[in-house]
Amino acid sequence: MSADLRVRPLAEADIPALDDLGHRAPGLWAHRLDEQSRYISLTLVASIGPNPIGHAVLTWEGPRGTPDISDVWVVPSHRRQGVARFLIESCESVARDQGMTRVGLSVGVENHAAQALYSSLGYLETPDPPFEESGEWTDAGGIVRAWSEWVRYRVKSL
Cα of 11 vs its chain's centroid, Å: 16
- Options 1.10.30.50, 2.60.320.10, 3.30.1490.100, 3.40.630.30; CATH of 5-157: 3.40.630.30
Mean pLDDT within 150-156: 96
Residues 148 and 151: their CA atoms lie apart, in Å, by: 10
Residues 112 and 100: their CA atoms lie apart, in Å, by: 28
User: Which among 137, 118, 134 has a CA at the least distance from the CA of 126?
Assistant: 118
pLDDT in tens, 49-70: 888 999 999 999 887 789 999 9
pLDDT in tens, 16-60: 999 888 777 777 888 899 999 999 999 999 999 888 999 999 999
Report the chain's mean pLDDT, rounded to a whole number: 92
Whole-prediction pTM value?
Answer: 0.91
Could you give the C-alpha distances from 28 to 3, 22, 46, 115, in angstroms and in order?
Answer: 29, 11, 17, 26
Mean pLDDT within 126-134: 93
pLDDT beyond 70 at 130: yes
